[in-house]
Structures are given as structure tokens and as C-alpha cells.
Amino acid sequence: MPLSARCALPLLVIAQSACLVPNWLYEDDATESAATSALTATADPSTTGATADETETTLATATSAGSSDTTAAETAATTDATDTTGPDTTTGEPASCWSRAPDSWDSITQILDLDLGSKPAAARISPDGLGLVYIADYLGSRRPFIASRAARDQPFIAGQLLSDLAGIDDAGVDYPVYRVDPDGKRELIVAVGIPADLHITSDPNFGSLAPPLTSLNTAEDDTYATATPTGSRLIFTRRDGPFNSHLNGATFQTYEARRPADAPAGAGFSSPAQVPLTFADPPDPNFPDYPHYTACVALSPDGLRLFFGSSYPVILDSPAKKADALDIFTTERSSIELADWSPAIELHLFHEVGWETCPNAITADGCELVFHRFVLDPAQFPGQDTYKLYLARRAP
């Protein structure tokens, strides 16, 4: 079974796919500019001439009761990336959407780009919003691709292969984390196998996978990786949580590994520590200790906010409840040096009846969020795609 069709809920095959971090995630100004220029040159729209169709829904502004203004925390925090938007003319600071409530978004656009290859999935938007890395079909398997756009109001075009990762079997790879270090060397961390292990490849042998990262891997399923631009913080999930009898399998728990900022490509990580996720809303009073399902972690470029999919607080005791149990949550911390994550807030705006919803990535300014929806039972939606990519937008 291809990794892109791995079981996220243990007994239910779903179209989960990779969370990829593009090479422009190293955001030193010079490196970011060079990476963007290289990407633009690689993804030349003239090579295809194709355009993209998009379906946009304008949303009424929604406010989460549990949200808070995070501007003060951002100002005081140790961050791992900088916003790439233009300055706010009133303050001289980069424009940002982080002061808006977490559940406040202006529109949701389905990404229907026709030039991204076969079955593009798990798209990871770059911090500046101009790049997209994702997985797609390649010679009977799944491989990472890269695409770009000239401006935020334009479609992503000219998806091209990032690496063929020679030697990987037909199952393919999933959930890559990709960056370029300060010396211009590429690094790619991917999940391989079922249960998955995290492997790393880097220049000068980019594309040849090293053995599993011993500091991160166990006999369990280690997957769903996401990272900050400098690669100093890596968050992933591991299926070593409490057993869920309704899923007939263990649940995932979330972990964070560290290494120095701007570490050379291929450098190892510390042993991971568990990320203590809690929730703002109370649990079901009849099942206060129910082992909920959590997946699809997506770390903001500054390392201060984590988006993830969770079934909380739903009790998964029927097919109907499993059909749209996964929704997007977000939590934050005041510094990347700390593990004091706030109680997670559910983003109710993204819920869709009958569809599971998971985040992929968010821009550095917090103004664009890529996420995906999928269905557990394709028979529910005959003739429709059962995996869809979306782009949520909001203005500062």
C-alpha cells in the first residue's frame, strides 16, 4: 500500500499524505532571496502554459471564544523565522495576521491547480506564501515535488520533481521535511515504511537515504514530521499512545526534537521529548480520559504555534462519529526554548460534515493556511475526489 494511502485511523484506510517543508524555509534574507530566485527559475510557467482553477468561499469572520491576542508574546519570544510580508505603514513592523483570533479567516479556496502532477497532496506552503512543496505520483510511486507562484493572488504552477529518491521501493515516501542550510546544502527528512521510520538525506549525497535516525525512531510508527526554517525544532508524531478500543489500535502522541539553529544539513537531533497537548474545551464528562486521535502536526515558521488534527472531544463509537471526527486545533507557546504549550483551541470554521480535516502549513505572517480534507468512506461521495487541498486566507 502506498504510504500516501496509509491508515491514519488504524482500521480505516484514508488518503493521508505528506507535510513537506520547502527549501526556502531557511530564512536568512540572502538565502531566502536566492532560494526564491532558484525556485522561480526552475518553475518557469512558460514550460507548461497551464493555469489553475480555484473555487473560493468567502467566510463571515468567526471568533473563537478561547482565543487571545498573541502580539505581546511574539514581541518577547525567541523566534526561528521572520515574516516576509511588507511593512505595516503605521509601525514599520512586518504586516501580520497573528493578532487576529485563531478561528478568524476571510475565505477558503480549494486548490484545483492542474499543473502540479498526478494526485498532488499534503501541500506545504512556504513562509512567504510563494512556494509549494507536496507529494505526487511518480513512476508508480510517490515523490516530493515543488512549485511556485509570482504573487499571492496567483495560482501555483509548473510543479517539478524535487527528488526521485532512487532506491526507495514502490511504497514511496511521506511527510518530508526539506530545507537548505546556510551553506546551500539540501536536507530532506522523510518517513519510509509501515510502520514508518524517519530517514535523512543531504548533500553531497542528496537522494540517497541514510539509515533511520536512531535518536528519533522506535519500533512504533514515527511520522508526520514538521520543522522550523532553520531546522532547529522538529515535531512529529509516534503511535505509542493509549490503546483506543473503538479504533482497535494505539493512538499517536506528539514529540519535539532539537538541534542548533542552522545546523549543517544532515546533522542529528536530540532525543525527542513529548509535547504535552491539552485542550481548552472540557472533555466528554462520561469519558474524561478517552484516548483521542491526533495527527497532521504543522509547526508555524517561528516555532511558536502548532496546528494539528484531533478527534477531541468526540467519542469514536460509531461510523457516523468517525466520519468527520478530525478537526483542526491550534496551540501556542511564548518561546521555542519552552514546552509550555497553551490549551489547544478548535478552529470550528474549518469543520465540514462528512469530511476529516487536517492542517498542512501556515505562512510566517499567519495570513495563509494550507489544509486538506478527506473522507473515510468514498461511497459517501460518489464521483467526487475524496482528498481535497484548500488555502485559507485572511488580511492583517
pLDDT in tens, 116-163: 888 888 888 999 999 888 888 888 888 888 899 999 999 888 799 988
Question: Average pLDDT for residues 78-101, to the nearest whole number?
Answer: 60
The radius of gyration of the chain's CA atoms, rounded to the nearest angstrom, is 19
| Residue type at 111 in one-letter notation | I
Q: For residue 13, is pLDDT > 50?
A: no
90-110 mean pLDDT: 84
pLDDT at 164: 84
Contact between 389 and 155 (Cβ < 8 Å): no
What values do phi and psi take at 66, rounded to 5?
-90, 5
What count of other Cβ atoms lies within 10 Å of the Cβ of residue 233?
A: 20
Separation between Cα atoms, residue 252 and residue 370, nearest integer Å: 22
Contact 71, 93 (CB under 8 A): no
Q: How many domains are contained in the chain?
A: 1
Mean pLDDT of the chain: 78
pLDDT exceeds cutoff 60 at 297: yes
Pairing of β 253-258 and β 233-238 = antiparallel
- Reported confidence tier of residue 78, pLDDT bands at 50, 70, 90: very low
Which contiguous run of DSSP H or E holds residue 37? helix 29-42
Band of residue 169 on the pLDDT scale cut at 50, 70, 90: low
pLDDT, greater one: 180 or 64: 180
What integer pLDDT is reported at residue 205 of this predicted model?
A: 87
Cβ within 8 Å of residue 251, ≥6 positions away: 239, 241, 242, 243, 244, 291, 292, 293, 294
Asked if 25 and 301 count as a contact pair (C-beta separation under 8 A), the reply is yes
CA separation, residue 324 to residues 10, 230, 312, 345 (Å): 15, 35, 11, 17
Of 238, 212, 208, nearest in space to 223 by CA: 238
Mean pLDDT of 325-341: 94
Nearest by Cα to 330 from 292, 297, 301, 364: 297
For the record, the C-alpha cell of 386 comes out as 475524496
**Picking from 1-10, 30-39, 274-283, which range would have the lowest pLDDT averaged per residue?**
30-39
Q: Which helix (H) or strand (E) holds 357?
A: strand 356-362
Neighbours of 37 (CB within 10 A): 11
So what's the pLDDT on residue 209?
79
- For 42, other C-beta atoms within 10 Å of its C-beta total 14
Residue of 168, 167, 165, 166 lying closest to 145 (CA atoms): 165
CATH of the domain at 256: 2.115.10
Q: Which residues pair with 306 in a beta bridge?
A: 299, 331
DSSP 325: -
Nearest to 385, CA basis, from 55, 158, 21: 55
Predicted local distance difference test score (pLDDT) of residue 258: 96
Host domain of residue 293: 3-393
pLDDT in tens, 337-382: 988 999 999 999 999 999 999 999 999 999 999 999 998 777 777 7
* Buried-exposed string 145-160: b where 16+ CB fall within 10 A, e elsewhere: bbbbbeeeeebbbbbb
Among 103, 99, 107, 101, CA closest to 152: 107
Q: Name the percent of the chain in helix, strand, coil, to the closest 5.
A: 10, 35, 55
- Indicate if the alpha-carbon torsion angle 202, 204, 206, 209 is positive or negative: negative
Share of the chain above pLDDT 70, in %: 75
Query: pTM for this structure?
Result: 0.80
Burial class (CB in 10 A: 0-12, 13-18, 19+), 357: buried
Q: How far is Cα 175 from Cα 360, in angstroms, rounded to an integer?
A: 10
Pick from 158, 55, 160: which is nearest to 108 by CA?
55
Residues in the chain: 396
Please state which of the ranges 13-22, 236-245, 349-358 shows the lowest mean pLDDT. 13-22
Q: Quick one: which of 249, 247, 226 has its CA closest to 237? A: 226
